[in-house]
A and B are shown apart, each in its own frame.
Chain A
Amino acid sequence: MKKRRSDSLLGMAFFGPALVLLTVFLFIPMVLTLVFSFTDYFALNPNLTRFVGLKNYVGIFKDELFLQSFFNTVRFVLIILPCQGLGALGLALLINKVTICKKYFKVAFFVPVVMSLAVVSTLWMQIYSPEGILNTLLGNLGISAQPFIHSAKQALPSIAVMSVWQGMGYQMIIFLGGLQAINPGLYEAAEMDHASEWQKFKDITLPELKPLCVFVFITVTIGAFRMIVQPMVMTGGGPSHSTYTMVYNIYETGTVNWEIGLASTMAIVFAVFVMALTIVQTILTRDKEENHVDKKAKRN
């Protein structure tokens, strides 16, 4: 009994400071955001704040710019999710097979993750510039110079490609860890059954990596939804708002235009959307997993 009490006190001592910090810097702001979202809170004149009910919520769905930033963000996610997920898996498989300079490749592909997004973005502005490396290469291949981030059509995919390149290394390391954790006995058994490389991949590697895939899937989705630095540095949301994302919109509404109330509403809508999506993802992938287990059980 005594021991338990001291244990719990000790636990509290460790846990307490974190909880206080979380409360002050996370929970209270979250609640405040929810409260502000029903007001017309204006940063320059907080005294005039009034409750406006659902006006902000109705308003943002009529706001073309909000809708555009929403669909831009979805477009980003739709490009980044498959490219980054599959790319990371591909890289992990390749590196797993490589025998020479394995460490070098691991580090090389991971380096962009460590670099600051602002630095990477500035770097890629040079790569994408009208007389930059990429256009010079294209020129040598006989392809005319592309505007990339300076055209409303190409800017979004260009930034998405850069983001994939930047973020892929992280998921690659996760997959690599997963690959190395697979019991080699499974592959040996498959070899005895004369299984082809594809069969081994499909029936051993993929199912074993499934839990990791779910994790990667969700983290990449959430990460892509939070896109702001790249468009902010590279295009300022342009041209013609083609790279204006949700988070960018929230940031500008709140800090540049001082409309904290409206920005809070956007943040709440955005958070609810991402949360809902994550829950759906989790349910969908979990079902499949269970089905998979069921099938296995039946087969046995």
Chain B
Amino acid sequence: MKRSVRRVRKKSGRRKAGGTAMAAAAVLLTAGCLAGCQKKQVNPGDIAGFDPGEQYLSLWVHSIEDTEEGQAYRQSVDRFNEVYNGQYFADIEFVPRNDSGGGYSDKVNASVMAGSLPDVLTVDGPNIAAYAANGIIQPLAELTQEEKGAYLESILEQGTYQGKLYALGVMESSVGMYYNKDILAEAGISVPEAGNPWTWSEFLEILEELKPLMEEKNGYPLDMTFPVGEASIYYYAPFVWSNGGNLVSEDGLGVDGFFNSEEMKETLGFFRVVVEKGYMAEAPIDHLFESGRAAFKFDGAWEVNTVYQNYPDINLGVAPYVTGDNWDGGRYTPTGSWAYAASSGTEHLEGATELVKWMSGVESGMRIWELSKTFPSTYEAFDDIDVFQTDENYAALYEQLKEYGHPRPKTPVYPQVSTSFQQALESVALGGQESGPVLDKSVERINAKLERYIRK
């Protein structure tokens, strides 16, 4: 009896020891991970090219190294290290990002918690406000007027939050209203000059005129969709702006009276007419424009390259972006892309700012165009790239960007504004719902997300 009791005791003792060992192992592993996730300490000589006396600067980009974009970043960093040899050493890390924005942003979020942000990181244009408002990035060190003046106004505007410059991008983007020259010639329609765009009422008349011709071609006047994701707000918010409306208030902290304004309702009404009258296909048809079955299409600047490379039969033109009926001549066309910013964790703001300036500068911009055919962000880069002078379509897109580029809403709750915009467009234009209640519901939902910023 005694013996058996002892045996049991012994057994339980052993179990306890085992449990303790395991708990210790778990703690060790967790601690190891946490330590690993902490900001890494790099000493001169650890990495080739990092010499004593140089300031170490870490940099995260949202890309894969093997891509053309990644190569452009790699080469720009290498050049930075050459030019600033003895002063700074930049260490680039590539963090892949999937289409829905995960991956890269997950890593940033995790690092915010662990306090292991790099010195410089890339931020998508519309997220700059949220990152700034939550103290993930800090304003850049002061730039001279000349330095600032090198960038397109849209880039400075995108990087500014509440009066301070936080980010500078190497890439700028644009959306064109493309048209098929042959089809418009056949219909006897001529496109207006830059600076004198069609208003949407005029555009509806053009679409009506084109409809019979396009039906003959088994197509539609307009190749357009309202896709889920960033594209919808990016392509179609300009209709609200050029109609005198705004999606959010000036400080980005209010939407009531903006997102559900009359101007917004009119815009949705315009898209409803386009769908109702059958000027576009209700269910998206692939390559409608590229196969010559649509007269117009809204698409990113990359479309020019796509058509040139893959659809040589299409006679492509870029028309001035259609405006609302209340346009006052102000800025309204789509812009925005990823930009570099200094993290709030960096203790070397001067160095970080130098790196941001270099990575977004003229040389880096020309490289990003060369390798990935993405628009640069400085006047000089555009002037130095031949195609923006010689090719009428690229020239038109640059002109539009320069004169009329408008950033997307600057608000910390941008993701909610973006999804709400797409949903409203879909519900009203495609679903035929009344715009008032749909927009009021959106306002309610965005307000719920704004609460945390207003509370502070």
Interface of A toward B, CB cutoff 8 Å: 5, 8, 12, 16, 19-20, 23-24, 28, 40, 42-46, 48, 64-65, 129-131, 147-148, 150-152, 232, 235-241, 252, 255-259
Contacts and interface: CB of A to CB of B under 8 A. Distances in A.
Given A46-B113, A236-B229, A257 B415 contact: yes
B231 to A, nearest CB: 11
B282 A150 contact: yes
Contact of B26 (A23, A235, A236): A23
Contacts of A240: 423, 426-427, 431
Contact of B285 (A20, A45, A129): A129
24 contacts: A8-B14, A20-B26, A24-B29, A24-B33, A42-B452, A45-B134, A48-B456, A129-B283, A129-B284, A130-B281, A147-B283, A148-B283, A150-B283, A236-B229, A238-B228, A239-B426, A239-B430, A240-B423, A240-B431, A255-B105, A257-B416, A257-B449, A258-B130, A259-B449
B415 A235 contact: no
B192 interface: no
Nearest to B102: A255
Contact of B134 (A19, A44, A64): A44
A24 B452 CA distance: 31
B194 interface: no
Contacts of B423: 238, 240-241
Contacts of B445: 65
A23 B22 CA distance: 10
Nearest to A9: B18
Instruction: Pick the most buried of A44, A45, A46, A48: most chain B CB atoms within 10 A of its CB.
Output: A44
B146 to A, nearest CB: 34
Contacts of B130: 44, 258
Interface in B103-120: 105-106, 109, 112-113
B101 A255 contact: yes
Interface SS of chain B: helix
B443 to A, nearest CB: 14
Contacts of A151: 283
Contacts of B284: 129-130, 150
Given A150-B282, A152-B431, A255-B100, 20 more contacts: A5-B14, A20-B25, A43-B113, A44-B112, A44-B136, A45-B112, A48-B452, A48-B456, A64-B441, A130-B283, A147-B283, A150-B283, A150-B284, A151-B283, A237-B228, A240-B423, A240-B427, A255-B105, A255-B106, A258-B415
Contacts of B105: 255
A169 B101 CA distance: 32
B286 interface: yes
Interface residues on B, range: 35 or more
B18 A12 contact: yes
A129 B29 contact: no
B227 interface: yes
Q: Which 6 A-B pairs have the closest CB atoms?
A: A236-B228, A150-B283, A44-B134, A43-B109, A45-B134, A130-B283
B265 to A, nearest CB: 18
Contacts of A24: 26, 29-30, 33
A22 B101 CA distance: 28
Contacts of A257: 415-416, 449
A52 B284 CA distance: 44
Contacts of A235: 228
A42 to B, nearest CB: 6
A19 B136 CA distance: 36
A256 B415 contact: yes
Nearest to A15: B22
Contacts of A42: 134, 452
Interface string B127-170: 00011001110000000000000000000000000000000000
Contacts of A16: 22, 25
A236 B227 contact: yes
Given A130-B284, A232-B100, A238-B228, A43 B22 contact: no
A62 B449 CA distance: 15
A226 B281 CA distance: 33
A236 to B, nearest CB: 3
Instruction: Pick the most buried of B22, B26, B431: most chain A CB atoms within 10 A of its CB.
Output: B26
Contacts of A129: 283-286
A208 B431 CA distance: 50
A45 B26 contact: no
A258 B29 CA distance: 27
A175 to B, nearest CB: 36
Given A24-B29, A237-B228, A240-B427, A46 B285 contact: no
A241 B112 CA distance: 32
A257 B418 CA distance: 11
A44 B129 CA distance: 12
Contacts of A241: 423
Interface string B6-47: 000000001000100010011001100100000000000000
A256 B427 contact: no
A259 B227 CA distance: 24
Given A130-B284, A236-B228, A43 B26 contact: no
A240 B279 CA distance: 21
Contacts of A64: 441
A147 B282 contact: yes
A196 to B, nearest CB: 48
Nearest to A257: B415
A64 B430 CA distance: 21
Given A255-B102, A255-B106, A256-B100, A20 B415 contact: no
A151 B131 CA distance: 36
A146 to B, nearest CB: 9
